[in-house]
Amino acid sequence: MGSLLEELARRQAEARRRIEELGRQLAEVQARLEAEEEGLSRLLIASEVVEDILGGQGRLAADPVLGSEDAGSADAGQDGQDGKTEAVRRGVVTVPAWREDLGPSVLPRAYRDVLEVLADAGRAMRAGKISAALGRGESAAAVEGLRGKLRRLVERGWLAQDEPGLFALTEPVARQIAR
């Protein structure tokens, strides 16, 4: 019977090793995806700057600030002249910098979910706890994938990170969500 238990232990160890390897691979792919998204974001910003320099001549095909799958929602963007909502669909997901005139609805669903979890909590949370609240679990791969999104939201003014590893809504975003 000892050999049967040893075989089970060996198989368990092998399964754990495969899971760890897959988690590492997933984290690498997530990091590559985030780098590509960041590169795309920079290109979109460059396009916006070029359009500003040209003074609106040769209007670009789409607004680089909008890129969520829900760009057609009421808070997607304002054209600034008559208050009509301007919806632009893009095949890429971007996270615009927070502005008072942008609501959370301009964000992709995964990012809105993060804001919702933090709003419900009413306090700063660690990435692992946010991941668990989102139903993604607390595995290293799930947390690292989420951490990139959290950093992006911090960089773009939606979240604050007062202490390393603790993420919270910024005051203006919290007020906006509470409305």
- Tell me: the pLDDT tens digits for 102-113? 889 888 888 999
At 114 the pLDDT is 95
Parent domain of 72: 2-178
pLDDT, one tens digit per residue, over 61-103 is: 444 443 333 333 333 444 444 443 343 444 455 788 898 888 8
> Quick one: pLDDT band at residue 1, thresholds 50, 70, 90?
low
Question: Distance between CA 104 and CA 133 in Å, rounded?
Answer: 19
To the question of pTM greater than 0.85 for the whole model, the response is: no
Take residue 138 and report the two structure tokens written for it.
């607390």
What single-letter amino acid sits at 152? Answer: R
> Quick one: pLDDT band at residue 141, thresholds 50, 70, 90?
confident
Question: For the chain, how many structural domains are there in total?
Answer: 1
At 102 the pLDDT is 86
Average pLDDT of the segment spanning 30-41 = 82
Report H helices in the chain. 2-54, 109-121, 127-133, 140-155, 171-178
Question: Distance between CA 7 and CA 10 in Å, rounded?
Answer: 5
